[in-house]
Amino acid sequence: MYQYTCLNPIAGVGLDLFSDEYKKVDDLKDAQAALVRSAAMHDLDLPDDLLAVARAGAGVNNIPLDKCAEKGIVVFNTPGANANGVKELVFAGMLYASRDIVGGIDWCLANQSDENIAKTAEKQKKNFAGTEISGKKLGVIGLGAIGVLVANAAVHMGMDVYGYDPYISVNAAWNLSRSVKHISNVEDIYKECDIITIHVPLLDSTKKMINADAIAMMKPTAIVLNFARDLLVDEEAMVDALAAGKIKKYVSDFPNTTTVGAKGCIVTPHLGASTAESEDNCAIMAVREIRDYMENGNIVHS
Ligand code: MLT
């Protein structure tokens, strides 16, 4: 009998993915395997019986990788399992930053009792005019599972797409549309693109990669999207640049006191993977990984 724990709610684990061979326990100290979504594990004591941790998501920055390596605990993530959810929210953010959707909706609500609302709207709509994303240059930084989906979808949206990734995998390169132009110098993305979206993992080498120098190279009309991790961006520098009109918008999925309410910032509460489908996909992949490892010793993304 294997014992596992869920360190925070993981929607799809309710799908009875484990067989009778597994017993759910409340505490990490009694568990041989742990499933985790966004809870930070850095301050937890890792019991000697713990064999595997599966993160239901792509990023593993909430897992103490060094401690796990020391103890021989295998760490899994679920690359690609939530990529559609994130991709779709990236486009929602892009469109939201380009069109005054909320201004228009708020205006309709404020004027709902006006019998002539349709007529008045025709006069008002110039106040809510936006820009199109079709034809714009999109820079995709990081061509993993999510970056590739975003880049390919952007091609279909009529965007001129530039991709940067010094470590692109064979699989990702194979899946990437031929219409995406490879850029070997990330600075060219900063200088040339109208919209820039980041899809890299948070590592020491990527921390604050979008810093004041990078932002200074961008167009004053540039829109930057961050659905990867907040620490990838020097957000103080970003907020200053937005306030000074040196860049147009910053769309982030990571709320904090620097960005929420700041001029030009559009912030959502880490919703990228919060779709029924992504949650199920991540849970199924995470449980399969644990099961495959516990039962067969296999280390695979399944
Ligand atoms: C990820 O790393 O894939 C996301 O942060 C997942 C999540 O929203 O839990």
Q: What is the mean pLDDT of each run of 10 residues along the chain (302 residues)?
A: 88 79 92 95 96 96 97 96 98 98 97 97 97 98 98 98 96 96 97 98 97 98 98 98 98 98 98 95 94 93 68
Q: Name the residue of 13, 38, 87 to mutate for ligand 1: max ligand atoms within 8 A of Cβ.
A: 38
Q: Is residue 301 part of a domain?
A: no
**Is the minimum distance from the CB of 270 to ligand 1 under 6 angstroms?**
yes
Q: Which atom of ligand 1 is nearest to the CA of 273?
A: 8
Q: Is residue 94 part of a domain?
A: yes
CA distance 28 to 268: 31
Do 24 and 103 have their domain in common? no
Do 90 and 50 have their domain in common? no
The reply to whether ipTM tops 0.90 is: yes
Q: Is residue 69 part of a domain?
A: yes
Q: Which atom of ligand 1 is nearest to the CA of 274?
A: 8
Structurally, how many domains does the chain consist of?
A: 2
Q: What is the pLDDT of residue 302?
A: 61
Q: Which atom of ligand 1 is nearest to the CA of 270?
A: 8
**Is the minimum distance from the CB of 82 to ligand 1 under 6 angstroms?**
yes
CATH number, domain of 70, equals 3.40.50.720
C-alpha of residue 38 to centroid of ligand 1, in Å = 7
Closest CA to 153 of 92, 222, 200: 92
Q: Is residue 254 part of a domain?
A: yes
Do 198 and 148 have their domain in common? yes
**Is the minimum distance from the CB of 264 to ligand 1 under 6 angstroms?**
no
Do 65 and 88 have their domain in common? no
Do 130 and 65 have their domain in common? no
Do 109 and 257 have their domain in common? yes
Do 145 and 34 have their domain in common? no
Do 34 and 111 have their domain in common? no
Do 207 and 235 have their domain in common? yes
Instruction: Report CA 231 to chain centroid distance, whole Å.
Output: 13
Q: Which atom of ligand 1 is nearest to the CA of 37?
A: 9
Do 239 and 211 have their domain in common? yes
Put residue 74 in one of left, alpha, beta given phi > 0 → left and psi -120 to 50 → alpha.
Answer: beta
Do 126 and 207 have their domain in common? yes
Report the b/e string of 248-262 with b at 16+ CB within 10 A: bbbbbbbeeebbeeb
Range of the domain at 190: 83-267
Do 58 and 15 have their domain in common? yes
